[in-house]
Structure 1
Amino acid sequence: MRHTEIGGRKVSALCLGAMKFGSQTDDAASTALLDRFLRAGGTFVDTADCYQYWVDGFEGHESEAFLGRWRRGQGITDEVVIATKIGAQPTVPGGGPEAWEGLSAQVVASAAERSRRRLGVDRIDLLYTHKEDRATPVEETMAALARLVDAGEVSQLGMSNHRTWRLERARAALQGHGHRATVLQYRYSYLQPRHETRLESDGFTHVTPELLDYVGAENAAGRDLALVAYTSLLGGAYARPERAAALGPAYDHPGNRNRLAALDEVARTAGATRNQVVLSWLIGGGIIPVVGVGDAAQLDEAVEATDLELDAEQRRILDEAH
């Protein structure tokens, strides 16, 4: 398993998504997958305080609550970095994005406390703002987050699904309190959507060329900024045609057909699966992919991808297809 760093802390180059753990994936199966991930060298796990409120029978919080049980049951301390997110839990049962609690100072303080309690930790390893809250000034949100770090309740701060200009404004406000957001999380994979076309969910914010430029400039200036990519395998679209069709019109364009041809060419020469080439391409580009898995075979496929290093010609073929 390859490793990388976020904010000076070493983590696995692959992040295991725990969204369905404790809900659609029961405790026993979730525990088995997490334990297998750890044995393979994995040390980075992703969740949120709202997973999975949108699935019938669940209210949100199930993933965090399960991870807390798992930590206690397995005696996990600081060897695993657990990242969580706040701001997108509905305030009313059955509510959706229109009812998200947002990022006011009061919500930041109370949501972080609830997450710490569910996870069973004194300090959250990495706390993201899950989605923009245009109703709350970024200065208010960042001041509240800074207070959490100052109080020793959060180690690192991150931001997810923010427009680049909002991201810069928020990070500047946070820096005024002596802290930095060191990790970003956005949707990203090898296949690219038409940016002017709506994705499947309003909750998704895709990486843009401007964001990649911003991250590159920050890292070049010595202000380390890690980029984490969710939906890195597009929900199984690379392996299952019916999943690819479900991506909708945003992904249905000639550029992606050319990219799939390039992906298949590289997969043949590398002796790997499409999924493995995509994950290796991301990791080789300095991006940490989040992968959700449903069984041991899917997990093993993803873990093995961390040891696949594409050569310069293979990366050229992938990068130049559009």
Structure 2
Amino acid sequence: MRYRTIGTDAATRREVSVLSLGAMLFGTVTDEDTSYAILDRYVEAGGTFVDTSDNYAFWTNGGQGGESEELLGRWRRSRGVGDEVLIATKLGARPLAPGTSYTDNPEGLSAKVIREAAERSRERLGLDRLPLLYAHIEDRTVTLRETVEGFAELVAEGTVGLLGASNHRAWRVERARAIAAAAGLPGYEVLQYHRSYLPRRPDLPSELDRDGDVGWVGPDLASYLRAEPQLTLVAYSPLIRGGYVRPERLGEGYDLPSTPARLAALEAVAAETGATVNQVVLAWLMGGDVPSIPLVGASSVAQLEESLAAVDLDLTAEQRARLDTAG
């Protein structure tokens, strides 16, 4: 395994593995025994960065959210796992009532919700301190200042370490960070968005916001990350839910003129390296001009093994150039 440091403050920064494991469906779609086996293998391979949320997975099996956190808490206790594994979680997008969703009835990012939701996450995970806590989605019903101060209070109390944002517009991330900096408060240092080798069509709305490209790394966010190298990007859905293996799953979001050429470049580099296409995508993300920590899901140990092998795949400068310029 390879590692990198996230965060800049000595009190909260952490060294984490360059491949993160998503636990979204653990405890619901992925049963407990399989979830434990995947987690055990990930840690055995040196993995130290597990991702969840307080709303995972409210949309499955009659769930209400929190099932993934609860499973991770049970796994931690059964294995004696401590602070060596950073478990990141999110708040703000848990539905307030069964049968509703984060698009129409989210808990939001008020100071009250931040405090109460973080406490519930700590209880489910069995942690005294959440080492990384994200604002999961935007909340326009409260001021950014209230959200910034709500998170900062928990950091000051020692119940939260690093702060992050997911699925926010780049300008709102920058505004929140500026508010925090001006007040001498901790701000967002880790950003979690969808990013993959294939670009997404910018003209299609996001399920998170019907008016814009919220949720994935577009040109504005990529430019922002290049200008702020101290920020860490965690790239979710890097393999587009199996779309590189089964292109019919890509859907209209990736129907761009450049897609065939980029898929052909991937196949060529995979053949040259003896790697799978998925492994080339993950290696490209880890070493790109905007270095990313891929956040991979797995429903079996075999799927995880494929992703783990990407950590040791070193693409040459020529291969990267070909991938970058394809299409």
Normalising by the smaller structure, the TM-score range is over 0.9
Could you say which residue in structure 1 is the equivalent of 2:10?
Answer: none
1:87 equivalent to 2:97? Answer: no
**Are 1:146 and 1:177, in contact at CA under 8 Å, matched by a contact in 2?**
no
Aligned partner of 2:223 among 207, 213, 219: 213
Could you say which residue in structure 2 is the equivalent of 1:184?
Answer: 191
C-alpha distance in 1, partners of 2:209/2:62?
Answer: 22
**What does 1:282-297 correspond to in 2, within 5 Å?**
282-285=285-288, 286-297=291-302
- Normalising by the residue count of structure 2, what TM-score does the alignment of the two structures yield? 0.94
Amino acid at match of 1:181: Y
Amino acid at match of 1:208: G
1:135 equivalent to 2:141? Answer: yes
1:36 equivalent to 2:44? Answer: no
**Are 2:29 and 2:61, in contact at CA under 8 Å, matched by a contact in 1?**
no
Q: Which moved more, 1:49-58 or 1:65-74?
A: 49-58
C-alpha distance in 2, partners of 1:199/1:29?
Answer: 32
C-alpha distance in 1, partners of 2:209/2:41?
Answer: 33
Amino acid at match of 1:279: L
Could you say which residue in structure 2 is the equivalent of 1:46?
Answer: 51
How big is each residue's C-alpha offset from its partner over 1:16-74, in whole Å with a ceiling of 9 and x where there is no partner? 00001111111111011000000111000000000011123211110001001111110
Could you say which residue in structure 1 is the equivalent of 2:111?
Answer: 105
C-alpha distance in 1, partners of 2:255/2:209?
Answer: 18
**Are 2:176 and 2:187, in contact at CA under 8 Å, matched by a contact in 1?**
no
How big is each residue's C-alpha offset from its partner over 1:110-143, in whole Å with a ceiling of 9 and x where there is no partner? 0001001101011001000000011111100000
C-alpha distance in 2, partners of 1:201/1:109?
Answer: 24
Could you say which residue in structure 1 is the equivalent of 2:314?
Answer: 309
Shift of 1:217: 1.2
Aligned partner of 1:195 among 195, 202, 218: 202
Could you say which residue in structure 2 is the equivalent of 1:59?
Answer: 64
C-alpha distance in 2, partners of 1:103/1:200?
Answer: 19
1:274 equivalent to 2:281? Answer: no
- Normalising by the residue count of structure 1, what TM-score does the alignment of the two structures yield? 0.95
Question: Equivalent pairs: percent with the same residue?
Answer: 54
Does the residue aligned with 2:139 lie in a helix, a strand or coil? coil
Structure 1: 5+ residue stretches without partners: none
Structure 2: 5+ residue stretches without partners: 8-12
- Cα distance change on mapping 1:22 and 1:30 into 2, 3 Å: same
How big is each residue's C-alpha offset from its partner over 1:243-291, in whole Å with a ceiling of 9 and x where there is no partner? 23xxx22211211111101111111111111100000000012100000
Shift of 1:241: 3.5
Does the residue aligned with 1:169 lie in a helix, a strand or coil? helix
Aligned partner of 1:10 among 12, 15, 21: 15
How big is each residue's C-alpha offset from its partner over 1:176-218, in whole Å with a ceiling of 9 and x where there is no partner? 2431311000011001111111356659611012211111211
C-alpha distance in 2, partners of 1:201/1:83?
Answer: 21
Amino acid at match of 1:23: T
- Cα distance change on mapping 1:30 and 1:242 into 2, 3 Å: same
C-alpha distance in 1, partners of 2:316/2:91?
Answer: 39
Aligned partner of 1:114 among 103, 117, 120: 120
Q: Which moved more, 1:154-163 or 1:194-203?
A: 194-203
Does the residue aligned with 2:228 lie in a helix, a strand or coil? helix
Does the residue aligned with 2:312 lie in a helix, a strand or coil? coil
**What does 1:147-186 correspond to in 2, within 5 Å?**
147-175=153-181, 176-186=183-193
Could you say which residue in structure 2 is the equivalent of 1:259?
Answer: 262
The 4+ residue runs of structure 1 with deviation greater than 3 A are 199-204
**Are 1:45 and 1:80, in contact at CA under 8 Å, matched by a contact in 2?**
yes
**Are 2:22 and 2:295, in contact at CA under 8 Å, matched by a contact in 1?**
yes
**Are 1:143 and 1:177, in contact at CA under 8 Å, matched by a contact in 2?**
no
1:27 equivalent to 2:19? Answer: no
